[in-house]
């Protein structure tokens, strides 16, 4: 079985069924299609299916042109019908893994995908979980479900874990040139998964187990969360000490060793850094261990939107104004610059908290024409000199490249900059306040 699959992988004649056509699945599908694999995208969202099959992309890092070329060449098609898995030799699972309200892992999408695979599992098939999850998920949840078919892992079918490393908006590193780690449930599983990813990715690092591969992704994002939490706390300290945190960070960065630069901000966004560390923390709680760094960093980062609003309130008070009844303009709604992803965006929390304080809030974002707030839809307003002049305070939450910060500063009464986007604005410094 493994020799036959190995040959198909080497010849690029294997059919790959990518479950989930989002920020992880679609870029993977495109890279596979570009290398000649036949790719079937599987997604329960029929709107998503229609978009892909029409040769369009709703993902920042993938262009319509890329998708259209593969659809036209019949190397990529999308369906909501999971029976397409019957034809697939390899099945990467790229579904969401959110947290529930109590910050416990929600693996329902993984389980749903696994049960669908079980219906159509056949000999010689390779299943790979890419969704970020806690150590043990592949072995403890997926393997038992698939082995209920009577097929044995490592002999009849193959199972591995390889965490996605997608960074939306990153122009330097994408799927193809970002190294991958893989861990299989057996040595044969690991070897086949390494061979598969090696067809489309420049460097693949095999690990000893699926648990190790699962832990790698959590370490990567926990490292970032903890360091962002540290620098956010330093920003709070610098505010108390009345010194500029951005100056401190840039000066520390001149040291050629022993320091890695992180910047403070209005909070964490996206699907990874605010969420992934809690998967590890949850797992450790089941082993009677409290992950103190993770919990503390999570607490600091989660409260940054509140700090932003408190600083805005203080700045307005210095100008003899109250936050209640003030006109506030938010610049940037997405969670990071130059993308359209709104997931977990701190901007949404800032807007909500400002409205609770009685502010009249509008927002502008060239990448997000509308956002949903409290079951209502807010629409991005046009950025004009009149709007800037009318606003009692302009808050830069996401530092999109499209913004002309000098022009914004010239026309604004007051600016609170959470990203140090105005650092090169020479004039009007008296009305610019930085996080």
Q: How far apart are CA 256 and CA 250, in angstroms?
A: 12
3-state secondary structure of 411: helix
**347 in Cβ contact with 333 (< 8 Å):** yes
Q: How far apart are CA 63 and CA 196, in angstroms?
A: 24
H/E stretch holding 8: helix 2-11
Q: How far apart are CA 172 and CA 397, in angstroms?
A: 24
**188 in Cβ contact with 134 (< 8 Å):** no
Active-site residue flag, 272: yes
Q: How far apart are CA 106 and CA 169, in angstroms?
A: 26
262 DSSP β-pair partners: none
Q: Which two tokens stand for residue 250?
A: 């840039």
User: Can you count the helices (H) and strands (E) in the chain?
Assistant: 16, 15
**82, 98, 94, 121: which is closest to 30 by C-alpha?**
94
Give residues with Cβ within 8 angstroms of 150, minimum separation 6: none
Q: How far apart are CA 184 and CA 191, in angstroms?
A: 8
372 DSSP β-pair partners: 377
78, 189, 272, 393: which is the annotated catalytic residue? Answer: 272
Q: How far apart are CA 3 and CA 188, in angstroms?
A: 10
Give residues with Cβ within 8 angstroms of 423, minimum separation 6: 246, 434
Q: Tell me the CA distances in angstroms from 428 to 50, 386, 411, 415, one per residue in order.
A: 49, 18, 10, 10
Q: How far apart are CA 90 and CA 98, in angstroms?
A: 25
Exposed / middle / buried, residue 289 (Cβ in 10 Å: 0-12, 13-18, 19+): exposed
- Which residues are catalytically annotated? 272
């Amino acid at each position: 079985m493994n020799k036959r699959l190995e040959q198909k992988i080497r010849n690029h004649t294997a059919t790959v069924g990518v479950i989930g056509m989002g920020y992880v699945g679609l870029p993977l599908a495109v890279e596979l299609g570009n290398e000649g694999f036949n790719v079937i995208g599987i997604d329960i969202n029929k709107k998503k299916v229609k978009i892909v099959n029409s040769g369009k992309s709703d993902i920042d890092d993938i262009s319509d042109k890329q998708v259209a070329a593969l659809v036209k060449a019949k190397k990529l098609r999308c369906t909501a019908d999971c029976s397409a898995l019957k034809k697939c030799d390899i099945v990467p699972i790229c579904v969401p893994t959110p947290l529930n309200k109590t910050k416990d892992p929600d693996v329902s999408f993984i389980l749903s995908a696994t049960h669908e695979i079980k219906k159509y599992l056949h000999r010689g098939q390779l299943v790979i979980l890419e969704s970020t999850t806690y150590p043990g998920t592949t072995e403890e949840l997926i393997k038992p479900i698939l082995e209920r078919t009577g097929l044995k892992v490592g002999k009849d079918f193959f199972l591995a874990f390889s965490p996605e490393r997608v960074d939306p908006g990153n122009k330097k590193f994408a799927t193809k040139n970002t190294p991958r780690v893989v861990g299989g449930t057996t040595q044969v599983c690991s070897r086949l998964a390494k061979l598969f990813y090696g067809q489309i990715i420049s460097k693949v690092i095999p690990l000893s187990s699926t648990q190790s591969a699962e832990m790698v992704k959590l370490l990567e994002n926990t490292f970032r969360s903890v360091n962002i939490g540290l620098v956010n706390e330093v920003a709070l300290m610098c505010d108390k000490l009345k010194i500029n945190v951005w100056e401190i960070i840039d000066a520390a960065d001149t040291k050629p060793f022993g320091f890695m630069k992180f910047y403070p901000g209005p909070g964490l966004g996206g699907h990874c850094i605010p969420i992934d560390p809690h998967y590890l923390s949850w797992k450790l709680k089941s082993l009677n261990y409290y992950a103190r760094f993770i919990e503390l960093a999570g607490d600091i980062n989660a409260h940054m939107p509140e700090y932003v609003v408190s600083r805005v309130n203080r700045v307005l008070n210095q100008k003899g104004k109250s936050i209640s009844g003030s006109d506030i303009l938010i610049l940037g709604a997405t969670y990071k610059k130059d993308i359209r992803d709104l997931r977990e965006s701190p901007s949404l929390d800032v807007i909500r908290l400002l409205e609770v304080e009685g502010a009249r809030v509008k927002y502008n974002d060239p990448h997000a024409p509308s956002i949903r707030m409290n079951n209502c839809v807010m629409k991005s307003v046009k950025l004009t000199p009149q709007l800037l002049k009318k606003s009692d305070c302009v808050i830069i939450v996401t530092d999109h490249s499209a913004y002309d910060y000098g022009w914004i500063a010239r026309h604004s009464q007051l600016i609170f900059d959470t990203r140090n986007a105005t650092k090169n604005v020479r004039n009007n410094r008296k009305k610019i306040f930085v996080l």
